[in-house]
Amino acid sequence: MTTAIEINCETGEVTERPLTAEEIADREAAAAQAAADALAAEEAAAAKAAAKASAEGKLAALGLTADEVAALLG
Amino acid sequence: MPVTYQLIASNVLSSNVASITFSAIPSTYTDLVLRASVRKNQATTATEFYIKPNSDSGSNYSFTMVYGTGSVATTSSFASNTNGLLIRYIDGTSNTANTFSSSEIYIPNYNSTATKPISSFSVEENNTTSATMAVQAHLYAGTSAITSLLIGVPSLTILAGSSFYLYGIKNS
């Protein structure tokens, strides 16, 4: 059984209880949101990497050396 | 000399839990510091836990982050999400057995009714050549004074042995 702990900072009382149905639903929704966010972040990173590779290719086609391209793009 | 850094409450988990809440946080301090040593049951490294002030699930959380493993630093940002203050990076079950990440979260002016900047520093513990560390600048857009902190991991559990210490800071 999944449980939650609450620590009352005024009294010092610690209570452990099973999750409510609402908390379970919230956790599932949060997990789905986190997965979607992670996917979006991965897609953004991949798009950025692809754009950088494309830029490097175009600069090389203009005659820049690899060192010059690296100096430009960091 | 007055005590300016005072332990409010703490807990070392004796069993796995979904979440831990510090409730009824007194308003008698100026700032809060949460120090956490965490491991969760996710079979990857480089994971996170969340903190939701006042259990707020609104689109009130943003952060900018610098992270890396010791060679190249990378940046990342995340705006207006509902997942809470995402504290990266922490240990999962792929990290070395019985190791726990270390995190410190600083919450200044927590009694304010304005939006709140929050900072965090976190590093994995791992007996390999690589462990990720991150520094994050968070913005919590909630406008109520913070009276509770809900700490959790979506759909997973925080493992026994993880520890949480909440401190209050006074300016006098």
Q: Tens-of-pLDDT digits for all 172 residues of chain B?
A: 778 999 999 999 999 999 999 999 999 999 999 999 999 988 765 588 999 999 998 999 999 999 988 777 888 888 888 889 999 989 988 889 999 999 999 999 999 999 999 999 999 998 888 888 999 999 999 999 999 999 998 778 999 999 999 999 998 6
Check A41 against B76: CB less than 8 A apart.
yes
Q: List the CATH number of the domain containing B37.
A: 2.60.120
Interface test with A, best of B10, B13, B20 (most A CBs within 10 A): B20
How close does chain A come to B108, measured CA to CA in Å? 18
Neighboring chain B residues of A12 at a CB cutoff of 8 Å:
9
- B22 chain-A contacts, CB cut-off 8 A: 7, 9
Tell if the CB–CB gap between B154 and A14 is shorter than 8 Å.
no
pLDDT at B131: 85
Q: Residue A51: which H helix or E strand, with range?
A: helix A21-61
What range defines the domain where residue B90 resides?
5-169
Inter-chain residue contact B166 with A12, CB threshold 8 Å? no
pTM of the model: 0.84
